Every structure is written in C-alpha cells, then in structure tokens.
Structure 1
Amino acid sequence: MTTNEAVLQYHLSEEQTQIRDVITAFLSDHYDHESRTKIVASSDRWSSEIWRAFAEDLGILGLGLPEAIGGLGGGALDHLLVMDVMGAALVVEPYLETCVLAADVLAKSTSPAATPLLEGIVAGHVRFAFAAQEKGARYSLSNLATQARRDDDGWSLSGAKAVVVGLPGATHLLVTARIASDGEGGGALGAFVVAADHPQLKILPGLAIDGRTAANVSFGDLRLPGEACLADGSTGASVIAGAVDKATAAVCAEAVGIMRRLISDTLGYLEQRKQFGVFLADFQVLQHRLADMQTDYEHAQALAYFAAGMVDVEGREREIAISAAKAEIATALRRVAQEAVQMHGAMGMTDELAIGHLFKRATALENQFGSVDFHMERVMRAGGDTSGLASN
C-alpha cells in the first residue's frame, strides 16, 4: 500500500459508520463516568458484563478476525473506530491487548492452539495480557532476558516481565522470549501463549497509573506444550513487530478519542463557570487556547487514520509511518491534556470529574509501546525524515 492509498482510507463506509455509532451509543448508556468509576473501584477492576456485551450484543471482539472463525473480516481502520470511541469513554477492558495485538499474532500462527484461542476471543471467553516489557529494556522488543528452551516435545520458559497490563484479569498471556540455541542465548525471537492460571506462573499484582490492573510476572522453568509457541525462527521477530505496530496505531486512535473528550469536557466546563459575572467560555484568551487544542486534535486525527492505513505495509515504510504518527500524536495529546487540566483549575485533578482520569490515561498512553524519543529514534534508524516531528 502506498502513502496515497493509506490517505484515501479516511472515507468511512456506511457499515463502518454504523459500527462507530452503535458502539458510541452503547458506551454512552453503559459506560458513563459514574459507571466507569464503579468498575475500576471493583475488586476485578474490569467488567465481565461489559466484555460479554462486547461479544454477544455488539459482536465487536471478532471485528478484525476472519469470517471463517466467526469474525467480521475487518481491518485496522475498523480497530481505529473502536479504539477512538473506547478512548473517549476510558474503557479499561482489554480490547487492545486481546483483539488487536494477540489476535494479530494468533491469526498469523500455524500452531494448533491458535484457532481455538481465536474462536475464544470472538466468543468472549479469552482475554489476553501482553507480557513483553522487561526491566532495563527501554521499549525494545528484542532486548530480552526471558528465554525459551526446547524441552523434549515442549518448551521451558524462564525469566521475568514487568508491568503486564491487564493482569490479573486476563485468561492468557502473550509472552515474548528469546529462543535459546544449543543451550545458549542469542537465538531468534518467539511468541508464546501461557495460561494465566498456570501453576508455575508467579504473579505480583499491582495497579497502573490509569486505574488498570498491572503485574510483574516470573517464569521459573515454566513448562509448556509444543503448541504454546505461536511464532519462532525467522518469522518470530517480524510477527511480533507487526502486531506491536498494529497496536501502536490503535493507541494512536485511542489518543484521538481522549483528546476529543478532553476538549468537549473543557468547553462544557467553561460554558458553565463564571468569573466577574462572565462565563469563562466568553474570555478570548481561553477561546484561543481551545482553538489550539482543536487544531492539535484534528492534526492527530489525520495522523491516526494515516497510521491505520499503513499497518499492513511491510518493512521500513510502516515503521516510519507509525512511529512518526505516535510521536506527533503523543506530543499533541500531552499539550491538550495539560491545557484541559489547567483550564479546569483545581477541579481538573479530582476524581469527581472525568478530566483527571483522562489526564492519567493520557500520561500512560504517551509512553505505551514507546516514548516520543523512542519513536523519533526509530524513524531515524529506519532512514526517515524527522524534521517534521515535534520535540518532546
């Protein structure tokens, strides 16, 4: 796909517009600020009822999966529409990790375990957490200490992962590891599926800044069957990189939804509050600041659509497009979030209003799958032009 072809995908079909509108209406009715607050304050910190509705009422968990396994055969643009709306609603359920990232790896896998897991995703029975980050790795997918060794007809997994978002709560982990060769490290990259209730899996639960669950996990020679390896050898690195790029494009869309909500809530607040007998929305300086926020939003929206149109392109062109978009959107998101909080004053950081929760998610999202600096460096390594990228 060329750059021009990616840009042409801005135009939504009637079916895609309906999907967006249906999800928006559902979340408006079932996932307002009060409902979300109750969900993240619950013991599970996610809602099984909402997830079941995604599967059975909306049917969106298989949106990007083949029709042969019960999916809808959609693509990255369809994920963009979902993530945009979920971003505005601050949905904490693991659509990104399950339906975008893990589903992409599973769809490309030849393992016998892949199809049943994909069918489980569509039905709402399977939820994934992505276990890739390691201490000191600095967002690198290849700088791994976790190792997988062939063990008779199975595998032995050893190592540890940090800040695995969505765990506890997931049914499975998608784990990246370096495949040991002849008893030594330095081999190819692999992707493995591990049941979250595996008796040899050690989980130290915690919380992320945005209210989601997160955990550190360790594998002490954890035994896995042969089919647990979803990708290895020459394909492992490319499959993992492609799935993470697709997920990065998806969080770009989520950022756009958050920005839209930040602007909308800020405008609503300024229209209700008065100073010196005048509504804050009537102050020209605040109008100019809102206009700058809107400009950032529209620029980010265009980049998110562009990134979605580039996820199926192989090689450097995809890397440059998605990293450039992530760097620009993350920078714009920070500006918009900071402005929104400042214009709310002290109310901007309270739990009473959604604005503080949006700011926290924006802060986490800015560094998800790589910081601004990481993605600018990635563009340079891939031979791209960084002259148009905003600095952090």
Structure 2
Amino acid sequence: MNFQHTEDRRMLAETLNRFVSEQYGFGTRDRIARSPEGFSRELWNRFAELGIIGALFDETSGGFGGEGFDIAVVFESLGRGLVVEPFLDTLIVGQAIARSGNDAQRARLGELIDGSRIAAFAHGEPDSHYELARVTTRAQRKSSGSGSGSGNAWQLSGAKAVVQHGEHASLFLVSARTEGEDDSEHGVSLFLVPRDAVGVSVRGYPKIDGGRAAEVSFDNVMLGADALIGEANNGFATLEYAIACGVLALCAEALGAMERAKDSTLDYLRTRKQFGVAIGSFQALQHRMADMLLEIEQARSAVINAAAALGAERKVRERVVSAAKYSIGRIGTLVAQECIQLHGGIGMTWELPLAHYAKRLVMIDHQLGDEDHHLERFVALGRE
C-alpha cells in the first residue's frame, strides 16, 4: 500500500502548515483561546478563504475533498498549531447534513464552507457516558395548525452538555429521541435548531485546554418539519458516521500535537546542559525518547488505518475508528507525561507552549469517547 499523500494533499498540508506557522503563533493562539469568544472570526474567515474548510467535504457538498485522508491532513496541521477555531463541529454537522439532509438543508453547507455560519454539535448529555445511543432529550410531534402542514411540527425538550463553541453558534445539530427507550439506537432523530429559537438557553464557560464550550438547554422549542434531518427515528446511522469523521479528526489532531511536543522536547534535550554536557547525551533519556518516538509512529499508523477505513462498510469502519481512538488516547497521555518529565519543572509552566500541548492531548482522549470506552466498543463490535 502506498502511504504517500497525493500532490493535492501535500500542497494542502504545506499551505496550512505555513499559514499556521506564520499567522497562528503561540502568542496569538493563547490570546484567542482566552478571549471572550474563544476563537477568532477573522482567522476563521481566512481559513475558509484558503479552502481549508472546503477540504473537509466532497464536491457534491461544495468542497473539494471529504475523504478520510483529506480530513487527516487538515487536522494534523491544526493539531500542530493547537488551532481553536470550530473545525471539528463544522465537520460533524456538515457531514450529517451531507449524508442525510434534503436539498434545502444541503444548501446550508455553503454557509459552513465559506465560514459565514458557525454550527455546533449538540449530542452529549450529562449522563450519557459517551454512549452514542444514550439520548434522553425528547422531540414530540405537535400539530402546527390547520392546512397541509398540520401535524408536522416538533416540540423539543432536554439538555446537552459540553457543546463546543455553543455560545457563538447560530445553528445547532441536536440529537433527540422521538421513539423507544433511552439507550435504543432506533428512535434517535437529528434536528437543525436555530440559536435564536424561543426556548433555547445557552450557558458558556472556558475550557481547560483553551477555547470555550457551553451547556445548552431546550425548553419546549417548537420546530418546523424542515428541521428534521433524514427520517424520524432513523438518525442513528447518520449520527454514527458523522461522529466517526469527528473521531478520525481528533486522532489526526492529536498526532500533530504529539509531533510538535516531540520536536520541542528534542530541542530541549539538545540544548539543556548538566555537568557541562547536553542532557540528550544521557543514555537513560535517550531510551525514553526512543520509546516515545516508536509510540508516535504507532499513533500515525492508527490514523492512517482510520482514514483508509472511513469509506468502508459500517462494522469495519467503526472497529478501526475505535481502535485508533483507543491508541491515540493511550499514546497521547504517554507523550504528554514523558515530554513534561523530560523538560523537568519548566514543562509545567504556563508560558511554555509544551504545557498547552500536553493539556490538549489529555483532553482529546475525553472527546467523543475515551480510551476505555473505545476499547470496550471495539470488543463489542467484534462480537456482532
């Protein structure tokens, strides 16, 4: 198998890496991540102008990529710069719309790709424990009055936790139960909910690894029939695929962060001196660094496998994606710990970028399912 990227993907990676290096230095990133908005609309628009968002979607959706390796290339570069703009939610929401949306809903993809609309993915709930089918937010059919559209409206109630960029999104992709038990795959439906709909409440807060998230509640929110994506009760397959895209993106982002943390640690070992010599000459530290390099290569292989499997049939795709997320969770935590320890006390300081890369690697493990969850899921899928 040829693991080399196509010429187009190499150009995409070079363009994005250069832009992040020149325009998204750590000082800029730290200022943006700690700002009241949690991201930069100006830079978000510039990313869109460069075509970076378009690389996440295929031509039929208005983009020019959309395959697993396109997603991996983009997010690995974003991980190198700890970019906090809403790429992940744009990917997940956009893929759900592209997969199951009607013509009117798919028309909104252009607004996501050109950066003019911020969309947020509202799925996780306070007691869901990463389980995709665990949805207690409810949507019930309600009469919308007389006429041909009567009975096609929906009333949405429930709460969603840790909605990335939820404060500043103008559109939410919300999972809700329209039928069945709280943990049943059947009965899950997906809705597009405007931020300004009556009954939508948002409480924002800063995240430990930079940027902002929100708790979002829906109090008897009335939605038209056009808010439903795909068929009622049958949204789980779309949800599962969109989250698989998100998991691949997180794995690639973690790989980029690991590479940058590794490079910083190598530079430190070459320049920091004790007893008149660089500490990188100490055999014990060389062994630890060699072990870490091997683990990072294993992480790269996991990302490659997940990217290649994104277009495979459901069971193969989900097993490979869960295997990758498990590996990334374990290796990311290891890299974070080793890099900080090899730096000594300075590795924990706020001023050193390494500490922020370490925090991001640890938090990626907890997004869209941690390593324990994905290990259990990998095993369970093998029994099906």
TM-score by length of 2: 0.93
1:162 aligned counterpart, secondary structure: strand
**In the alignment, which residue of structure 2 is the partner of 1:230?**
229
Q: How does 1:209-248 map to 2 (within 5 A)?
A: 209-233=208-232, 235-248=234-247
Matched, 1:60 2:52: yes
Residue of structure 2 equivalent to 1:71:
63
Q: Secondary structure at the match of 1:378?
A: helix
Residue 65 of structure 1: how far off its partner (Å): 2.3
Structure 2 residue matching 1:383: 3-state secondary structure: helix
What is the deviation of 1:169? Answer: 2.5
Taking only the aligned residue pairs, the percentage that are identical comes to 36
Residue number among 76, 81, 84 corresponding to 2:73 in the alignment: 81
8 A contact 2:329–2:362 mirrored in 1: no
1:141-192 deviation digits (Å, cap 9, x = unpaired): 11111011122332111000111122212221111111147xx997611111
Partner secondary structure for residue 52 of structure 2: coil
Rounded Cα–Cα distance in structure 1 between residues aligned with 2:7 and 2:22:
23
Comparing 318-327 with 82-91, greater Cα deviation is found at 318-327
Give the match for residue 30 of structure 2: 37
Q: TM-score, normalised by structure 1?
A: 0.91
Q: Take 1:331 and 1:73, find their aligned partners in 2: how far apart are those partners?
A: 30
Distance in 2, matches of 1:312 and 1:293, equals 31
After superposition, the C-alpha distances for 1:296-336 in whole angstroms (9 at most, x for unaligned) are 11110011011011112222211211111111121011111
Q: Secondary structure at the match of 2:154?
A: strand
* Cα distance, 1:246–1:141 mapped onto 2, change above 3 Å: same
> 1:140 aligned to 2:139?
no
**Structure 2 CA distance for partners of 1:373 and 1:154, relative to 1, 3 Å:** same
**CA–CA distance in structure 2, aligned partners of residues 144 and 110 of structure 1:** 21
Contact 1:147–1:158 (8 Å) recurs in 2: yes
Q: Is the 8 A contact 1:253 1:304 kept in 2?
A: yes
Aligned residue for 2:56, secondary structure, equals coil
Q: Which one of 71, 86, 89 corresponds to residue 97 of structure 1?
A: 89
Shift of 1:129: 1.5
Aligned to 2:149: none
Q: CA deviation at 1:350?
A: 1.5
Partner SS for 2:236: helix
Q: Is residue 202–residue 217 contact of structure 1 (8 Å, CA) maintained in 2?
A: yes
Contact 2:167–2:203 (8 Å) recurs in 1? no
Residues in 2 aligned to 1:271 and 1:73: alpha-carbon distance in whole angstroms: 40
Displacement of 1:112: 4.3
Question: 1:373 — aligned with what?
Answer: 372
Q: What's the offset of the Cα at 1:116?
A: 2.7
- State whether residues 111 and 228 of structure 1, in contact with CA within 8 Å, keep that contact through their aligned partners in structure 2: no
Contact 2:177–2:233 (8 Å) recurs in 1: no
Change (3 A) 1:303 1:68: closer
What's the counterpart of residue 25 of structure 1? 18
Counterparts of 1:328 and 1:349 in 2: how far apart (Å)? 25
**Are 2:178 and 1:179 equivalent residues in the alignment?**
yes
Q: Say if 1:80 and 1:161 are closer, same or farther in 2 by CA, change over 3 A.
A: same
RMSD of the TM alignment (CA)?
1.9
Q: Distance in 1 between matches of 2:39 and 2:29?
A: 9
Contact 2:265-2:342 within 8 A present in 1 as well: yes
Identify unmatched segments of 5+ residues in structure 2: 144-151
Name the residue aligned to 1:266: 265
8 A contact 1:155–1:223 mirrored in 2 = yes
Report the 3-state secondary structure (helix = DSSP H, G, I; strand = E; otherwise coil) of the residue aligned with 2:204: strand
- Secondary structure of the residue aligned to 2:205 is strand
Any conservation in 2 of the 1:112–1:227 contact (CA below 8 Å)?
A: no
Q: How many equivalent pairs are there? A: 374
Contact 1:273 1:280 in 2 (8 A): yes
Whole-angstrom distance in 2 between the partners of 1:147 and 1:276: 66
Q: Secondary structure at the match of 2:102?
A: coil
Aligned to 2:250: 251
Partner of 1:15: 8
**Which letter does structure 2 place at the counterpart of 1:29?**
E
Shift of 1:9: 6.0
Instruction: Give SS of 2:192's match.
Output: strand
Instruction: Determine if the alignment matches structure 1 residue 130 to structure 2 residue 121.
Output: yes
- Cα shift at 1:344: 1.4
Q: After superposition, where does 1:151-190 map in structure 2 within 5 Å?
A: 151-152=142-143, 153-180=152-179, 188-190=187-189
Question: 2:190 and 2:2 mapped to 1: Cα distance?
Answer: 31
AA aligned opposite 2:108 = L
Q: What is the alpha-carbon distance in structure 1 between the residues aligned to residue 275 and residue 101 of structure 2?
A: 68
Runs of 4+ off more than 2 Å: 8-11, 64-70, 109-113, 184-187, 196-199, 231-235
| Alignment-derived partner of residue 41 in structure 2 | 48
Cα pair 1:40 1:46 within 8 Å, conserved: yes
- In structure 1, the residue matched to 2:309 is 310
1:181-209 per-position Cα deviation (integer Å, ceiling 9, x unaligned): 7xx99761111111223332111111222
Partner residue in 1 for 2:192: 193
Aligned-partner Cα distance in 2 for 1:312–1:96: 19
Give the Cα separation in 1 of the matches to 2:383 and 2:247: 18
Alignment of 1:318-337 (within 5 A): 318-337=317-336
Equivalents in 1 of 2:291, 2:159: separation in Å? 43
Unaligned runs of at least 5 residues, structure 1: 1-7, 386-392
Partner Cα distance (2:233, 2:158) in 1? 22
- Cα distance change, pair 231–208 in 1 and its aligned pair in 2 (3 A): farther
